[in-house]
């Protein structure tokens, strides 16, 4: 039996150290700890997939909380069943002792674990939806206040209008115009439409 640890944070700038420390306290060896820095909306995560390929019947997966496994209700349920029933892997969720498949393998234990898993999976997906909703509301409010997102537009070269007129009159090609303006052709076309 090998113990594996799985860590997930939602973005590259988030720190996974808290989860790493919790797994180390459980004796999970560093080479058996896999980290993904992306959303939990689905299980299309490179390190998660790699870890699952290395796991065999009797191994144990340790996670700090169910939302680190994922944030999609149906997919969490599906993965849980796949890991515990098909691959015959035990799972330990550190912040929820009822979600420890090493214990309570009788009918009552399985029932309680399944019930808790459903509730926590629901909560994880609900939180994901709430985060997206709050983010959308924040962006809309910022836009209403006149805040612009993205890079500020590049200042156009002084000769931009003259070069565009040459293109429009067929004197030069768009590729030649982009070269003269020292800008990507897609940017030139975009700015041309917007003037």
Asked whether the whole model's pTM tops 0.85, one would answer: no
pLDDT of residue 106: 65
pLDDT of residue 109: 61
What is residue 14's predicted lDDT score, i.e. its pLDDT? Answer: 78
pLDDT digits (tens, 9 = 90+) for 137-174: 888 888 888 888 887 777 888 999 999 999 999 999 99
What pLDDT is attached to residue 6? 96
- The residues spanned by each domain of the chain are 3-141, 160-193
Q: Quickly tell me which residue has 């209008």 as its tokens.
A: 161
pLDDT digits 0-9 by tens, 43-65: 899 999 999 999 999 999 999 98
pLDDT for position 142? 87
Residue-level pLDDT at 55: 96
Distant-in-sequence, close-in-space partners of 60: CB < 8 Å, separation ≥ 6: 1, 2, 3, 4, 89, 90, 91, 92, 102
Digit-coded pLDDT (tens) for 80-122: 889 988 999 999 999 888 788 887 666 666 677 777 777 777 7
Asked if the 3-141 domain carries CATH number 3.40.50.300, the reply is no
Residues with catalytic roles: 10
Query: SS3 of 82, please?
Result: helix
CA proximity to 128, closest of 40, 50, 187, 13: 40
What is the SS3 assignment for 36? strand
* pLDDT computed for residue 193 by the predictor: 83
Determine contact, residues 124/70, Cβ cutoff 8 Å.
Answer: yes
Per DSSP, the three-state class of 104 is coil
Return the biggest CA–CA distance within the chain. Answer: 82
Closest-CA residue to 68 (of 89, 91, 102) = 91
Mean per-residue pLDDT over the chain, rounded? 87
Q: What distances in angstroms separate CA 78 from CA 23, 69, 159, 160, one per listed residue?
A: 24, 12, 59, 56
Whether the CB-CB separation of 93 and 99 falls below 8 Å is answered with yes
Q: How far apart are CA 51 and CA 149, in angstroms?
A: 37
Give the position of tokens 């080479």.
31
Contact 108, 114 (CB under 8 A): no
* Banded pLDDT at 73 (limits 50, 70, 90): confident
């Amino acid at each position: 039996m090998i113990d594996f640890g799985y860590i997930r944070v939602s973005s590259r700038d988030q720190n996974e150290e808290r989860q790493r420390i919790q797994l180390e306290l459980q004796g999970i060896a560093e080479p058996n700890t896999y980290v993904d820095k992306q959303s939990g909306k689905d299980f299309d995560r490179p390190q998660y997939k790699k870890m699952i390929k290395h796991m065999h019947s009797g191994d144990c997966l340790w996670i700090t909380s169910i939302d680190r496994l994922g944030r999609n209700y149906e997919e969490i349920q599906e993965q849980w069943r796949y890991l515990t029933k098909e691959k015959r892997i035990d799972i330990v969720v550190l912040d929820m002792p009822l979600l420890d498949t090493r214990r309570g393998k009788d009918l009552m234990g399985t029932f309680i674990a399944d019930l808790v898993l459903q509730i926590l999976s629901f909560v994880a997906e609900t939180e994901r939806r709430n985060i997206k909703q709050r983010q959308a509301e924040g962006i809309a409010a910022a836009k209403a206040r006149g805040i612009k997102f993205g890079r500020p537009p590049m200042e156009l070269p002084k000769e931009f209008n003259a070069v565009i007129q040459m293109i429009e009159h067929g004197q030069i090609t768009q590729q030649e115009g982009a070269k003269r303006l020292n800008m990507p052709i897609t940017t030139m076309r975009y700015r041309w439409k917007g003037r």
